[in-house]
Amino acid sequence: MASGRETLTLPPAKPVPAPFSFRALLGGALWVACYAWFRPEWAVAIVWLGALVMTPLALGLVERGRTPFRLIGRAQLPAALLLVAAFVTDHYGFALSLPWIALTAACGATGVWRLAKLGVRRAGAIADVGMFWFAVSGMWAAAYFLGLEVFKLPPLIALLTVVHQTYAGLVLHVVASRIVAWRGNRFAVAAAAGVVAGNPLVATGIAISYGGLGVWFEVAAAVFLSCAAIMLGWVQLFYALWPGSGLPRTSRVLLLLSDLSFGTALTLAIIFAYGTWRGWPTLTIPEMITWHGTLQAFGFSLCALVGWTLAAGKQRSSSVSQWLP
């Protein structure tokens, strides 16, 4: 190359296996039924949606390889239903959640194995990092059901961390990997790298805040992650609007809706961080669950995952310069 940069040619992504798509559809129907029957708190409903719908869609977009995806795929729906049962039973909640915790651990181990075996200089490495954070969501689910106050964090924060590491962990990283793989460029890779770095920074900031060491780091980390994600959303929006991107029309519409929701949700996150910094909340946690959580789950995550699922069969070979750290 004239620029002297070494490039990595990615193979065309295979269409999403039908079992993952079918499990997501079935999971969606079961989510509606479970929500109508049990009427859980909205944060719990978003956890159920992540387990029943977002997880199979996200795993269906992860690069295939010599990994236990078939076993994970078969275990996902039963484990998700047991997780739902764990929230609605008065007893044995932790025991019922164990299959789901084990499944997230298997995903995390797979992600770490792939990073070590295949390296980080590929778009799929971003999704592998997301699978690691998915395992972290399982750990926080265990803490929630056991009633443990990790880092002195209350149970509600443990539950919201499960939500965060499912959506900002697994889903966002998988979507970022698709964005980079589709038409990889410096801007997309830089934004994706910011998302990869921002998630652990936010987790560290929350721990520091609840440890009584001030909120400045949490606020700075939240703004950093939000800005990196907004940059990534710009790339996705460009793909949705650019006629030469090669995306199907339905994918364009879904990705456009995803970006509109994503931008609004991240703006709310920045406003919330500002209120945390000044010590006078601009948005309460229940308001963030209602608005930020809903926009992230249904607007960004669902639309983006379905949009990239429909586009997966038309994935083209891409050359991505090796910028990832």
What is the full DSSP assignment across 216-271?
HHHHHHHHHHHHHHHHHHHHHHHHHH-GGG---HHHHHHHHHHHHHHHHHHHHHHH
Q: Residues with Cβ < 8 Å from 140, sequence gap 6 or more?
A: 150, 158, 159, 161, 162, 165
Residue 128 maps to a domain? yes
Q: How many domains does the chain have?
A: 1
The reply to whether 1 falls in a domain is no
pLDDT of 56 > 70? The answer is yes
Mean pLDDT of 190-194: 92
pLDDT at 263 over 90: no
Higher-confidence position of 22 and 6: 22
Q: Where are the beta strands (DSSP E) in the chain?
A: 7-10, 318-321
Two tokens, residue 279: 């010590």
pLDDT digits (tens, 9 = 90+) for 79-93: 999 999 999 998 899
State the pLDDT at residue 155: 84
Confidence at 2, pLDDT banded by 50, 70, 90 = very low
Among 41-45, 189-193, 213-217, 219-223, where is mean pLDDT lowest? 213-217
Considering only CA atoms, which of 167, 44, 56 is closest in space to residue 97? 44
CA 54 to chain centre: 8
The 3-state DSSP composition of the chain as helix, strand, coil percent (nearest 5) reads 80, 0, 20
Q: CB neighbours of 201 closer than 8 A, spacing ≥ 6?
A: 217, 221, 224, 225
Q: Say if 8 falls within a structural domain.
A: no
The reply to whether 292 falls in a domain is yes
172 backbone dihedrals φ, ψ, rounded to 5°: -60, -40
Question: Which of 255, 256, 270, 258 has its CA nearest to residue 296?
Answer: 258
Residue 313 lies in a domain: yes
Domain of 103, in residue numbers: 16-321
Residue 105 inside a domain? The answer is: yes
Range among 16-30, 42-56, 185-199, 260-274 rated most confident: 42-56
39 is written with which tokens?
Answer: 């009427």
Q: Assess contact for 219 and 274: CB atoms under 8 A.
A: yes
3-state secondary structure of 90: coil
Q: Alpha carbon of 36 to those of 30, 233, 244, 245, 293: distances in Å?
A: 10, 33, 43, 40, 19
Q: Is residue 9 part of a domain?
A: no
Q: Is residue 117 one of the residues assigned to a domain?
A: yes
Distance separating alpha carbons of residues 320 and 3, to the nearest angstrom: 13
Q: Could you tell me which residue, 319 or 175, shows the higher pLDDT?
A: 175
pLDDT at residue 210, rounded to an integer: 67
CA angle 245, 308, 181 (to 5 degrees): 60
Amino acid at 236: Q
